[in-house]
Amino acid sequence: AQSVTQLDSHVSVSEGTPVLLRCNYSSSYSPSLFWYVQHPNKGLQLLLKYTSAATLVKGINGFEAEFKKSETSFHLTKPSAHMSDAAEYFCVVSRMDSSYKLIFGSGTRLLVRP
């Protein structure tokens, strides 16, 4: 069965320093993987997605993620945090069975200190 685990519920960084949000997945199939961002009282916005093409995926706002099959990981990174990056981030895996669902992680709240 597919599942996704976000390893940190909160991450705090200083503005201008790198961001690392960690995500591990479990899947019997070759999954599709996504990162979404949610600002307070807003809907979720797609940051990037992996769909079995290049293992290093670039997304919006300078974010990128690397699919590592051997480590079953899909960590989200950004070289330099900006105050506007403060939000909640969700790692998502597709469930490629008859239910065709997306499975959402529990979220990581990113705090950016001035």
Q: Any bridge partners for residue 4, and if so which?
A: 25
When the beta carbons of 14 and 45 are compared against another protein, the nearer one is: 45
When the beta carbons of 73 and 89 are compared against another protein, the nearer one is: 89
From the list 17-25, 32-40, 56-64, 73-81, the region that binds another protein by CB under 8 A is: 32-40
Q: Cα(74)–Cα(57) distance, rounded to whole angstroms?
A: 10
Q: Cα(85)–Cα(12) distance, rounded to whole angstroms?
A: 11
Smallest gap from residue 93 Cβ to another protein (A):
10
- The single residue among 45, 55, 80, 84 that binds another protein, judged by CB under 8 A, is 45
In a 3-state reduction of DSSP, which class is residue 101? strand
